[in-house]
Chain A
Amino acid sequence: NAGVIQTPRHKVTGKGQEATLWCEPISGHSAVFWYRQTIVQGLEFLTYFRNQAPIDDSGMPKERFSAQMPNQSHSTLKIQSTQPQDSAVYLCASSLDRDRYAEQFFGPGTRLTVL
C-alpha cells in the first residue's frame, strides 16, 4: 500500500500563473479531503469528496480555487492566477468513510511557492 500519493511534491509558480495539484487516494477509500497548511493559519480544511461527488467545499476560497474528482483514483486542486498568499503546503487525505469519524490518511503534501 503506497499510501496517498501527491504530485508534484514542490511547485514554484509566478504570480498570476495557474497551479494544478494532484492527489491519488488509497485504493478503496471513498472519501478525499483537501487541506492547506501554513505556519500562521495551521491546517485548514478546503473541500471534501465522497464517492467522487463534492460534499463540502465550505473551506474553499470563492475565487480562483477549484477542485475536481473525475474518477475514484485521483483528485485535482486547481488554483488560477496564483498569489503570494496562496503559498502553503497543500495536503490531500483519504478515508474509508464508513462513518464521518473514519481515520483520515494524509499524503506528504505539495509545497506551493508563489513568487
Chain B
Amino acid sequence: QQKVQQSPESLSVPEGGMASLNCTSSDRNFQYFWWYRQHSGEGPKALMSIFSDGDKKEGRFTAHLNKASLHVSLHIRDSQPSDSALYFCAASGPGNTGKLIFGLGTTLQVQP
C-alpha cells in the first residue's frame, strides 16, 4: 500500500478556476510535506513545503496541513494553462534520512 496517497488521479478545471488536490499519509512518522510539480519532459520542481498545522500561502498556491489526520491539500486559485502538469505530494520524517516518499500524483489540466 502506498504510504502517501493522492486524490484525485486527474482533475480538469477552467482557466481562472480553483484546483484542489489532496494527499494523505498512512505513516505517522511522516510529518513534513512537500508539493512538487512536474511538466512533461522535465524533472519535478518544488512548489512549497508545509510542516505546521494550518495554511501556508505562496502566491496563487495555498497548502493546508492537518497533522492529526495527516491530510495535506493544495489549492491553486486563478488556475492558468501553464499550471497543467503532474502534481506530487511527498513526505518525509525524522527517521527518513531526508529521502522523500512520493504519492502517485494528480494530473491537472487547465482548460483555456
Is A22 positioned at the interface, with any CB of B under 8 Å from its CB?
A: no
The SS class assigned to the A binding surface is strand
* Chain B interface size range: 20 to 34
**A59 and B105: CB pair below 8 A?**
no
**A103 and B49: CB pair below 8 A?**
yes
**B43 and A42: CB pair below 8 A?**
no
- What residue of chain B has the Cβ atom nearest to residue A47's Cβ? B99
- What residue of chain A has the Cβ atom nearest to residue B48's Cβ? A103
Within 8 A of B (CB), among A22-39: 31, 33, 35
Q: How far is the CB of A1 from chain B (nearest CB, A)?
A: 14
Is B45 positioned at the interface, with any CB of A under 8 Å from its CB?
A: yes
The SS class assigned to the B binding surface is loop
Q: A56 to B41, alpha carbons, bound, how many Å?
A: 27
Q: A59 to B44, alpha carbons, bound, how many Å?
A: 19
Within 8 A of B (CB), among A60-115: 91, 93, 95, 97, 100-109
Q: How far is the CB of B35 from chain A (nearest CB, A)?
A: 11
**A33 and B99: CB pair below 8 A?**
yes
**B96 and A100: CB pair below 8 A?**
yes
Is B97 positioned at the interface, with any CB of A under 8 Å from its CB?
A: yes
Is B104 positioned at the interface, with any CB of A under 8 Å from its CB?
A: yes
Size of chain A's interface in residues, with CB distance under 8 A? 28
Q: How far is the CB of B30 from chain A (nearest CB, A)?
A: 12
Is B61 positioned at the interface, with any CB of A under 8 Å from its CB?
A: no
Inter-chain contacts of B103 with A (CB < 8 A): 42
Inter-chain contacts of A12 with B (CB < 8 A): none
Apart from the given pairs A45-B99, A45-B100, 14 other A-B contacts in the complex at a CB distance below 8 Å: A31-B98, A35-B100, A42-B2, A42-B88, A43-B102, A48-B98, A55-B98, A59-B99, A91-B43, A100-B98, A101-B32, A101-B98, A102-B98, A107-B43
